[in-house]
Amino acid sequence: MNNIYNQYMYSYPHKTAYEYTKRLDLSEYNLNLKKQRMGLYYHIPFCDSKCGYCNLFSVPSKNEDKIEQYIQAILRHSQQLKQTLDLSEIHFDSLIFGGGTPLILSIKQLDKLFELGVKNYGIRLKEDFIGIETSPNQTTAEKLAYLKQREVNRISIGVQSFVQKELNILERYHSALVAEKSLYFIKNEDFPILNIDLIYGIPGQTIKTLLYSAEKALQYEPQEIFVYPLYQQPNTRIYGKFHIDRKLQYKLYKEITSYLKTNGYHQISMRRFVKQKPDYKKSCGFENMIALGCGGRTYLDHLHYCEPYTANPNLCLKSLDSYIKKEDFLKDLSKYELSKDEMKRRYVIKNLLHYSGIDESEYEELFGTHLIKDYPIILEFCKKGWAVQEDNLIHLTQEGMGLSDYIGPMFMSSEVIEKMETYYHDRKCKTYLL
């Protein structure tokens, strides 16, 4: 293994494999959405400053006029979808605010989006799952009190490290003290789920400093902790600035995994640790979601689509301005229509990298073929001790879980890999690793 940190498979296929379409006609795709559960996602691309490692669609701006124009564009976007799709028999059971930094919005602007979710999508504030992301600099007592009133279930805060030198290397422009103050405010409101994000593999980081950050995080009794390996990706400010010692990074991963498990956390995936392990094993891979805003992606059965992907800071701003001016939100998009083979791959990637693993009977029922015959490489994983086959279930071992960013990309199709490579070759990038 030359590099176990190959690619973070948070979704499949990646946006760089999508193809441009002048206009998307949703009636062409024979979508069967009736009586299905659906998530609603708002992408808020604005942030106080762009972090050095960030390759997401985000724009550093606190321009009130531009933010308000963006909110108005989301409202127009929603109205068009309501006229295009029959939402009457769709059950929306979650509302997620992602970014960027959603709490950069004013309470008045947040209120408009909550009301949109309730009135147009039937979101039930007391019953459905509602999550929002934040950063320390934007976390105020006033906004948290508002979110508590709106029955928010999950607050996720990107702390990344409680060591100031490490924050500086990440070009993360909040202080460790501000992070602690923000967490104090969050704990005061007692949200059902607090998630804290940490990063490992930062140059100069040691086992001692990483475990110091983990210990500080645990003082706030988070229900979830996400630990992310540091990547240097194209279009980020830290790209090529320093060398990441991958062997040390893997050692850090094992140390923090052990520490969190010792302190009562259950590992759900390579990155996610939870205090209360789910008491059911629900397969994943077919979740449907409608995304509003520039930067999110919509999943409707086998059809995935979004605004054309970019992480280049200048192009992000250009794309944002274009979205704000849009009248037809089905024009100038990028899409991927998953074949049966790609649906299989998505299912395998999402379930194998999750603690629940793959139910071979369910796979055969869904696709009409045998899992091992389709992917004999899984037997190689078993031989290497990366996976185990127990009864009718195949799941990763502890060692295999730590190799998720190496194992996951092995299930990508040659077509998706080629499209991703073409995307970056056209932009004169040296790598397609995301």
Q: What's the confidence (pLDDT) of residue 280?
A: 61
Whether the CA torsion 395, 400, 401, 405 is positive or negative: it is: negative
Among 230, 232, 223, 161, smallest CA distance to 198 is for 161
The DSSP call for residue 269 is S
Beta strand 46-47 with 272-274: parallel, antiparallel or unpaired? unpaired
What would the two tokens of residue 243 be?
């060398």
pLDDT at 341: 97
Task: Reduce the DSSP state of residue 303 to 3 states and report it.
Answer: strand
Cis peptide before 100 (omega within 30 of 0): yes
Single-letter amino acid code for the residue at 33: L
Give the span between the Cα atoms of 289 and 303, in whole angstroms.
Answer: 11
Angle 313-325/64-84 helices, nearest 10 degrees? 60
DSSP H or E run through 22: strand 19-23
* Distance from chain centroid for Cα 165: 26
The Cα 196–Cα 347 span in angstroms is 27
Contacts of the segment 69-73: beta carbons below 8 A, 24+ positions apart: 69/324, 70/45, 70/46, 70/293, 70/294, 70/320, 70/323, 70/324, 71/105, 71/109, 71/112, 71/113, 73/294, 73/323, 73/324, 73/325, 73/326
Q: Answer whether 25-274 and 340-411 agree in fold.
A: no
For residue 20, with 0-12 CB atoms within 10 Å meaning exposed, 13-18 middle and 19 or more buried, which class applies?
exposed
Query: Which residues of the chain have a pLDDT value below 50?
Result: 428-434
User: What does the pLDDT read at residue 35?
Assistant: 76
Strands 393-396 and 224-229 turn out to be unpaired
Map out the domains of the chain as residue ranges.
25-274, 340-411
Q: How many CA atoms lie within 13 A of 208 on its CB side?
A: 1
Q: Both tokens of residue 140?
A: 């105020």
In this structure, which CATH number among 1.20.950.20, 3.40.50.720, 3.40.50.2300, 1.10.10.920 belongs to the domain 340-411?
1.10.10.920
Position 4, amino acid: I
* Residues β-bridged to residue 20: 334
First CA to last CA across the chain, in angstroms? 18
Bridge partners (DSSP) of residue 395 are 388
The model's pTM is 0.95
Burial class (CB in 10 A: 0-12, 13-18, 19+), 360: middle
**Per CATH, which fold does 25-274 belong to?**
TIM Barrel (3.20.20)
Amino acid code (one letter) for 177: L
